[in-house]
Structure 1
Amino acid sequence: MAVDPLRVLVLGLNYAPEPTGISLYTSGLADGLAARGHQVHVFTGLPHYPQWQVAPGHDSGSDTGPETNPRVCHLPHHVPSPPSMAGRIKMELTFGRGLAQADWGDPDAIVAVTPALLSTAAAIAKCRSSRRRPPIGVWVQDLYGLGVAETGAAGGPASSVISRVEKTVLRSADQVAVIHDRFKSHVVESLGVRSERVSVIRNWTHLRPLDRSARVRARRSFGWADDEVVALHAGNMGAKQALENVIAAAATAESHTKPVRFVLMGDGNQRAKLEQAGAGISTLEMIAPLPDARYREALLAADVLLVNEKATVGDMAVPSKITSYFTSGNPVVAATRADSITAAEIQTSGGGLVVAPESPVDLLDAVEKLGRDKDLAAQLGQAGMDFCTRTLSQTTALDHFEEWIQRLAKTASGRRTDTRGVLHA
């Protein structure tokens, strides 16, 4: 079916060249829509994640220019280092101020990505104050209220305030897209957004399935022995990941002379603390973030891929690393609550095992089990790859986004009937 080309404005704090997290999807959406003939303009922040320092050469912002598609404008804003709740609020507010002051042109539809919540609120307020009132949709990658509650980042009163802001922002949007059915349930049932205005569009894998024949060479390049089981955690090292559990599992493996190597690859606000905690443990290796090709080789070379979450984390986010993990053909072990979104993803895909969070012994046992049982490991790894093909296709996601943005562009913004509790100019 032919789709009319649109002028699409994308607003999001995280974008390429950030190597992980939400950046991959915001960049992928902008590039994908541009490749399909839409005119895409992006306002984004300074590349700073996951290291929480502005990438060299980006301190003052940049603009790729009107002749590019997508046109990408990096706006300057505060970057907290190390991050704190107050620092993140200041970052979102300064980025929101930049969005409010920017020249958006005349878009047919606007897609605002949250996180960041406060800058999304500023964008909605700007829409409502403009004469034309362009329709704006919010794409929800993480749930703020649940996030601060589940990670303990803010106390009860602060968590309630954040949930009220989140509710107001999402009720103010013309359309909402979420990345999981459980997100939709929360947005509708707890935040009061009307079900017909909420669409589920799954995140996709941005990597092609890996060539398993290259595994031996990749493993040699990292110096990992054939007779050890390598369990790799890739991506952000933050509070939500609670990677002390992996360090404790590595220490247990060392004390019992287990042929297991735990590898933490990436960066984040907890990395220095983790390096200190893991110093001297022979069964632990820490690797800095790698370029994309080497990152893929690391996923391929490992025996087991890890997701590790704090015991209180349940519904706040869908770890983006899972979509990459499933392309490797290796099994996943997720140390997470049995009722969490992450556990549901592993069980639905059939791509791995779920063990109790913050239990180093259970984590080590699961890694050893997959190291011994090659048939089970291969079965789980293949199931993850099949799930990628079946459910996590970028083409399918972009098809759904085109449909969603077409509906959004036809929305009579500012003339909705359900205006109680929404932002007004």
Structure 2
Amino acid sequence: MSPRVLIVGLNYSPEHTGIAPYTAGMAQALRESGWDVEVITGLPHYPQWRIHDGYPRTGDPHEVIDGVPVLRVPHPVPHDAGQLRRLGMEIVFGLRAATAPWGRPDAVVVVTPALFASAIVRVRAALTRTPVIAWVHDIYTAGLSETGAAGGPVTHMMRAVEGTFLRSCSGAVVIHDRFADYLRGHMGVAAERITTVRNWTHISEAPTVDTDALRRRFGWGPEDVVVLHTGNMGAKQDLTNVAAAAQVAERTGAPLRFVLVGGGHQRPQLEQLATTTPRFEVLPSVDNDTYAGLLRAADVLLVNERPGLTEMCVPSKLTSYFTADRPVLAAVEAAGPSAAELAAADAGIRVRPGDPEALVEGAMQLHDEWITTGGATHRGGRRYVREVLSRGAAVRSFVSAVAKLLPVTTEHRAPATVNS
């Protein structure tokens, strides 16, 4: 009698940053709750924009990850995140996901911002009148506009496409109330079809890694005030601003060391900057335990966004930052969701984006306050995670959103397998 749900999303485990941990975590949680869940996903490639080792483009596409049957469909992986190349990847993934064996799911969950792939899958679902939920992590057209990736006419056209797609879905799950407002006001999605399900943290509050040993491993001295940025290195992160802040720190004698951890299409440019910029370094992606340890080993945790971003996303790194119990510095717009999250959690301070001097001043202010008060300031992050961003609350809200679409009774079916 278990409801059968098919989740279709380009990103999934073993990717451990961005959207993938939430898709994988929700699939596992639904499966553990008795739902019959299957996943169709792509080849793991994010944030390095190359296929992970051990995942050839050919071979058996079936896996079982944490009890969840997973089907991987092949698709091109561009060497960078250029819009045309990314569009090509999305379309190929969408076509192959739509033509893969589905069985007879009671509902399909499509994960965006893979907009075109999701729209193609939506067409397949419509042929069998299967209800579809769009799980919106980023607003596609807001991203095009705010990052300057497309001009006005293209953005207007894409907004019409995105709005039509979202209105055609049976429901939408968004990760922040700001997104819900945007879908109602700009996309014409009915309020009763929108459910807010907050992303949760997926790192341990008490990592097993020795943080002092990590500082020694990476050459961070006791006098270094480490300002750590993690995750994707792309256009919206504007990380050349962080390199410029490192130059300001060097010039003024501030004891700051700016460190980036992760991958992305701007990583080669940033690595080149690191060779000529003291107090600025770029580290590769790390495993989950090391990542949790690095957050605790740093002195200040950084969110840096391109000026002008007010609608497009809520950085997933914030939930991990809050759990790490370290002060957070956010170089973001005051009107954006990142600033709202930081204020709600009382976990740090905001400075102007695109201003390296402000970044240095903010980092020093946070560190000085932390030392002066014995770490008593900006400690609300962990409380906020437990009260607002818990995995249990997210699963309950998500189950409620999907359950609204299901028939009152479901026909008994055999449990899904990787070959179903």
- Give me the TM-score of the superposition, normalised by structure 1: 0.92
2:356 corresponds, among 330, 353, 360, to 360
CA distance in 2 between counterparts of 1:270 and 1:307 reads 16
- 1:221 alignment partner in structure 2: 217
In structure 2, distance between residues paired with 1:66 and 1:353: 42
Post-superposition offset of 1:371: 1.9
Partner of 2:83: 85
Q: Which moved more, 1:236-245 or 1:202-211?
A: 202-211
Structure 1 residue 244: deviation in Å? Answer: 0.7
Question: How far apart, in 1, do the equivalents of 2:18 and 2:374 lie?
Answer: 26
In the alignment, structure 1 residue 140 sits paired with structure 2 residue 136: yes
**CA separation in 2, counterparts of 1:50 and 1:377?**
36
Query: How large is the Cα RMSD of the aligned pairs?
Result: 2.0
In the alignment, is the contact (CA less than 8 A) between 2:93 and 2:117 conserved in 1?
A: yes
State the alpha-carbon separation in 2 of the partners of residues 216 and 330 from structure 1.
Answer: 15
1:23 lines up with 2:20 in the alignment? yes
Partner SS state of residue 408, structure 1: coil
Q: Report the Cα offset of residue 219 of structure 1.
A: 2.8
Confirm or deny that 1:13 pairs with 2:10. Answer: yes
AA aligned opposite 1:31: Q
In the alignment, the residues of structure 1 paired with residue 70 and residue 103 of structure 2 have an alpha-carbon distance, to the nearest angstrom, of 13
1:178 aligned to which of 171, 174, 177 = 174
Farther off after superposition, 277-286 or 84-93: 277-286
In the alignment, the residues of structure 2 paired with residue 279 and residue 57 of structure 1 have an alpha-carbon distance, to the nearest angstrom, of: 31
Q: Distance in 1 between matches of 2:333 and 2:184?
A: 23
Task: For residue 291 of structure 1, report the CA deviation from its aligned partner.
Answer: 1.0
The one-letter amino acid of 1:305's match is: L
Aligned equivalents of 1:134, 1:253: Cα separation in 2: 56
Q: Does 1:203 align with 2:199?
A: yes
Quick one: structure 1 residues 377 and 180, their matched pair in 2 at CA, closer, same or farther if it must change by over 3 Å? farther
Q: What is aligned with 1:121?
A: 119
The answer to whether the 8 Å contact 1:41/1:69 transfers is no
Query: Any residues of structure 2 matched to 1:187-336 within 5 Å, and which?
Result: 187-210=183-206, 214-336=210-332
Contact residue 59 and residue 76 of structure 1 kept, 8 A: no
**Is contact 1:212-1:300 (8 Å) kept?**
no
- Displacement of 1:324 in angstroms is 0.6
CA distance in 2, matches of 1:269, 1:98: 25
1:213–1:173: structure 2 CA closer, same or farther, 3 Å change rule?
A: closer
Q: Does 2:60 align with 1:57?
A: no
Q: Distance in 1 between matches of 2:136 and 2:389?
A: 17
> For residues 78-105 of structure 1, what are the alpha-carbon distances to aligned partners after superposition, in whole Å with 9 as ceiling and x for unaligned?
2111221111111111011101211110
Deviation at 1:288, TM superposition (A): 0.6
Identity of aligned residues (%): 41
Alignment deviations for residues 336-358 of structure 1 (CA, whole Å, 9 cap, x no partner): 11111111110111011000000
Report runs of 4+ in structure 1 exceeding 4 Å deviation.
65-68, 211-214
Q: Is the 8 A contact 1:330 1:380 kept in 2?
A: no
Report the 3-state secondary structure (helix = DSSP H, G, I; strand = E; otherwise coil) of the residue aligned with 2:91.
helix
Equivalent position of 1:41 in the other structure: 38
1:9: Cα distance to partner?
0.4
Q: Tell me the SS of whatever aligns to 2:333.
A: coil
Give the Å deviation of 1:277: 2.4
Partner of 1:162: 158
**Contact 1:331–1:377 (8 Å) recurs in 2:** no
1:416 maps to what in 2?
A: none
Q: Which runs of 5+ in 1 are unaligned?
A: 413-425
Range 252-261 or range 354-363, more displaced: 252-261
AA of the residue aligned to 1:288: P
When residues 377 and 48 of structure 1 are mapped into structure 2, their CA distance, relative to the original with a 3 A threshold, is farther
